Structure 1
């Protein structure tokens, strides 16, 4: 030891100190700069603060009431509660997947049990779930590749504003798709096919994020639940490998769907939009995967896929929804002390087709006497589902349900029975069901026309005598689109050039004539065509074609194919035909962007009657189109025949009535039922007038006589590929029930009339206006005695006033006065930016002929602005006293629009 004292041990470096240098010296770290700032965090904090403060500033700047702040807080709290409920349901579903057997034993109610518990012919097939779980990572890779290589480029090419669209994250989660039960059909099945029903359930904690960089917009999905029954058909079975020719997939009915949104799409969780968003997505799924739509995967090249994509329905179910007895009284008074009656109506479902009957006010023994017709594509596994409800202003009360196996109906062909309602203490329902067979020959057409009384009735809105089935394949050599100082093509020279000119009438008048009255399209010769070609501005050399198919008053539209002269649709359509000898099929190819016609043709249906098997498959030449423009279609006509079974006198049938799978407790939390607007659900009922000579006392006989229809009924379209139709049949019973009066319409009427008068004075401005300054509307009005309904067809309007510099967005609203309830309102679709809109939409009002003589038809043409837009207003109005109209005959007339609806001058 040295004499100097012990040196203290060197201090160990702290966690934040630098390690010693090579020479044992410790390197000092420069102190952090005082000016370093986390810029992204600062911008994020500023954005959040601005988003909180700016709405308050806007409220003060506009001088709005403090109640808007309370309304915003209410919406915010409701959104948080709704999202919390979604997260809770997702957590319960995930917990159920982790330990299914334990959850089934302990916590799951009877109504929520899997299908393999309820039905002995449904197998659990856990081996299939283990296989899917093992394959799930590779399935996720395939789906991610599909999103990035197929969907993302398609979205970018659909619109120039979406050129920066991209998926930033695609993660389907670690929970695979589950199959809760498998059922294989062995009876009533073709020997060359295998039919399986898979109970599909997917509860995914997935994350799918997308971004549009151009608008700094981010959105996404963080969880999805989907439950449904998917049918898998393997057909045809072959004698060579791989033994199966093709695979077809589809849902028997719309699946249950729940989505939890993130980012900007959180707005879809606000009140009023949360249910709408899921409905829109379900409608998109229905257009691809819900019967009659399907996905067909060929497994061998020799299989005619066109045959598989042209499915012929197994039959048509005609439902006579007659009456009910001894229903429960749900309307109470004095807080339940005094029991009243009910306002019953029915919801009828056949697969994806939904019908709603009229409401019978205050009656426990209602008589509807309505008829519906529904297509049946796959009767094994499909049921007729009927639910009765009591109409209330808030939530409708449940009155009973009924499920009938369609396989039994097909065997019986004809059923006329009283059925006891399930899930209620009392109540019976009287139905008459008829199974109509599709016949490929016209041998018994006269008998069928006589049975539906189409041999005497000139109208095209009765009970159906035939079914028209179309397969829209493709089109070739469609003309291109140009826009210039030229009208839409009238001359052969324009069509021969392979072009379609979009109309610009104002510039055409200025360029060619001093007096617009001198305009004569037949005077424009080839030199004028060349002049227009030189001066025309090329907008898009390739059109965006869609096809409009029309039979009578029923119309359907195909999907849009973008930027192509040779579109391929591969879509199916069906039409119910009242009289094939008098009706025509009208086909028009249109450009979606410019609303120009690219060609058309008309096919009388009596030509199909002379064809082999009532079928035509060929390319049809398009009129008013290019020289070589054609459209490829397969068209089949099938006669609806009721084949009566020969039974022994002591034979008794047993229509299988199934118990509903939804428990009554689960139904109590459901909201008011709404009728879907899907195309397959659009069917109009017919009111049947009972024969007075065949009245029977229902109290004396257990099976009262069925009132037979006195005439045909109007049954509307059924579409397999319809996304949005500008030309549609809009029966009253399919509208969403809104029994409350339209108070806002009554209050705004005087203000709208004053604004219209001011607009008229501005238009006049010292000049003399014509006889019809507000324009005219063309209507067809007729009363159908067989259906006991007033039929109104809104055809077109002309010379409407412009509500803005871009024109007007007109639509037509109708009431049958004095009824001004919202349930009595009828509205057409909106025609964008036009002063001469074409609607061609039919509506009906349930009213008898003596009563309609005392009514007045209130028709108003209005301008439709956007949400919170100031461009909404009245364009003109007409009040038509129906006592002065010849309603027994179908009469089409022009009516002058005025500011208050008076003085309706009529022009034939």
Structure 2
């Protein structure tokens, strides 16, 4: 494009287009010349120009007043004298003549009348995540199998023997493997697995049974349960026939746990998990933590004032996730969500580490989960400061995983409490923490002691697994020996079998906390025929192994409510006063 600009005979400056080179169909566009103090020139580019000889400027050429050639052409005759050619007969635009500037004075640059573009406001809360609220936790309990095929042979294959079965479980994109039960055709596993799932159609919970061998494992059968069935009914507890096998069936219990924003139920969930915790396998989860990471702001620059290409790693216990790596920027945006299974919110912390893709750490954040329990909705949403500088915008929300059985029990207690309130009975006397009603102890049970030597104990009978479960929580105000503080421990003896269990030793205390769990194989019909003898002892001498009894308790299980396993205080008697 070629442009000519000159001073006219009156006030103002005239400009005209001489031609467009190499553009068959030019279209209107703005031209921004580099000769101050004129405003940008905006001219329509018309395709019908007379043919003028091209004006090719030499490299680095400048006009008479120091203005450089504009893009696509050459400015000539800028503010020329009276000998310059007349204005071209092309469309002309009149520009006002700039004010005169005194010699030696540099005119300050003029600011944009509209001002700089406004800086976008940072959001104060994290945006919504479509997945938050739709996730559930699937709890898979692998119990037992019956009538499995015998794959191991004896006497060179002449005698059929047994199998060494184990189970492979697939659910929610994860795979679990059970323990191997050697030389069994009717194995019992009692193992539990947990996985986070979404309500996506077409998913199944799959089970396969194998016989473990040195060379190649033998296939014993398979079965599956549609995930949609578990999510709709919440609990599926069945014996499933094995397919592609001559015989056998598998006993599983599947439960869908939906996160609840009820901090009042957390303690009951924690206690219920302790009672139902399998002997083998990881601890049961009490809550689901959902984290939505939106963006960061004010991240420190790298060496050479280079913005970082940031990513974030999120960790709870030994479970970690990483975000994608953003383009280099001090304010990266991720908009990603993550979920974690939480064993106990009172004890766990979410760790976030912001770093550049090349490795340097940019900042860190430790977010304890316990404070979330006191907030509305069990969550927080906003900016959090990083230890190395900068901030993170995230939302963290807890959901308590309440089993269906516990939920129904709590609802029943609420209804019972409403009936009692209607009858005019006391409102607060029978309330547990969180507003739930305490279940009344049996009429002939002694009242719970509030002072003196006492033991806190939970007893529960697992009818499905035929087990008696005991949890020793702790002791208070034990009788002090004459010389020094005791090293107490608790011994439990199930009579008449005399099957013994004992806790660890707590050093130098009268108020020990144990929180230890014990089991006995005990069918339901035999539970009423047993007695439990509990003794609190202290070791007096490591050399002689001499022990001293600090208190004793004898319980007839027929007088104990074994259906719920609620913790209860029991008075400890002096051993010499007992028959």
Structure 1-normalised TM-score?
A: 0.30
Choose between structure 1 and 2: higher helix proportion. 1
Greater Rg by CA: 2
- Structure (1 or 2) with the greater strand fraction: 2
